[in-house]
Amino acid sequence: MVIRFAVLGFGYIGRRHTSIIQTLPGTELVAIIEPSSDRIFPVGIPVFQDFDQFISAGISVDVLCICTPNGLHYEQCIKGLAMGAHILCEKPLALKYKDCVDIIERAKELDRKVFCVMQNRYSPPTQWLRTLLEQNKFGKIYAVQATCFWNRDSRYYKPDSWHGTRKLDGGTLYTQFSHFVDILQWLFGPLTLRHSTFWNHNHQGITEFEDSGIVLFDLPSGGYANITYSTSTWDKNWESSLAILAELGSVKIGGQYMNEVEYCHIHQIDPPILPPTNPPNNYGDYVGSANNHAMVFSNVINTLLHNDSIMTTANEVASVVALIEDAYRSNPFLQDTPS
């Protein structure tokens, strides 16, 4: 069986999806939907400038890849499900929790699957931590600190871009750092919001929201987790790290993208020797999280063909959206959530 993919949105990440589909065995790229006509499209693939036009064409599609601005995901997921496709959606699934729930319910009614891209789950240090936590090697978790200091400046927030707008981007936690909220929730959740604080240090005039923040969560263990983040780091990304303080040990995953074990002192656990983490996605003037999209596609294919489990479910991503939405709503810096 060949799985037929269509890619909706042909920016950096849409091109990444396209290149993977064209190299994986058992897959076929049947269409690209992109309103901009100035892109260089792969030869021989039908290109549609309008999503409704594509739907009207009646092209048979198994999986619709949604690689568009955040604020469009909800409507496009609903339309994709209605046309009979499974969905592979870049984060976030939607900008509102209620919209995520609507997508989940519609997928269930139509017997379709929704896959979400949270590729940091596949990085070797994260997988190693997950195994230790499942085996209760840390004992009680006291404190977890995620630190994400990145650069997003005028090279990213261009005047003609959707980046930086409340309606289509949503906020820094949605676009840059939802991957790391997901890691906190996946490893240590369910999390409960306690407090959030936001600042805008040097993005006035180029974004409609914060560039920095601290969000504090309560852990089920009685401990706490927080994420401290900023896009105000000068010139390039600096650090994405995760530190754990627990009853039976401490560990820190660091580097630019949580890609290396910097400290490991855990009862009866030796420091691991792990395979290297994939390099970050390169978007030209800036870089993003680890380039693990091929693993995401493998999970999609194995789930559809061999009934494997979905690595990142829509319910899990909806819980991340709920945490981010609550964090923004709880702080007067951003009283108005995306409409």
Condensed to tens digits (0 to 9), the pLDDT of residues 85-103 reads 999 999 999 999 999 999 9
State the chain's mean pLDDT as an integer. 94
| Residue 113 contacts residue 305 (beta carbons within 8 Å) | no
| Residue 67 contacts residue 9 (beta carbons within 8 Å) | yes
Is the preceding omega at residue 35 within 30 degrees of 0, hence cis?
no
CA distance 337 to 158: 22
Sign of CA dihedral 161, 33, 295, 315: positive
pLDDT at 338: 42
| Closest C-alpha to 283, from 30, 77, 11 | 11
Residue 333 clears pLDDT 70, i.e. is over it = no
Strands annotated E in 100-238: 114-116, 141-149, 192-199, 212-218, 224-230
Residue 54 clears pLDDT 80, i.e. is over it = yes
Residue 339 clears pLDDT 80, i.e. is over it = no
SS (H, E, C) 112-135: CCEEECCHHHHCHHHHHHHHHHHC
Question: pLDDT class for 334, splitting at 50, 70, 90?
Answer: low
CA distance 326 to 98: 12
8-state DSSP, 272: P
Sign of CA dihedral 297, 300, 304, 305: positive
| Closest C-alpha to 92, from 320, 290, 339 | 320
Lowest pLDDT segment from 20-29, 269-278, 295-304: 269-278
Sign of CA dihedral 256, 91, 68, 294: positive
Buried b (16+ CB within 10 A) or exposed e, 225-247: bbbbbbbbbeeebeebbbbbebe
Average the pLDDT over 158-171 and give the result.
95
CA distance 129 to 12: 30
CA distance 259 to 331: 32
Phi, psi of 5 (to 5 degrees): -110, 145
pLDDT tens digits, 179-234 = 999 999 999 999 999 999 999 999 999 999 999 999 999 999 999 999 999 999 99
CA distance 320 to 173: 10
pLDDT at 167: 96
CA distance 228 to 200: 14
Q: Is 322 helix (H, G, I), strand (E, B) or coil?
A: helix
CA distance 280 to 316: 23
Q: Which residues are CB-contacts of 18 (< 8 A; sequence separation ≥ 6)?
A: 7, 10, 29, 32, 42
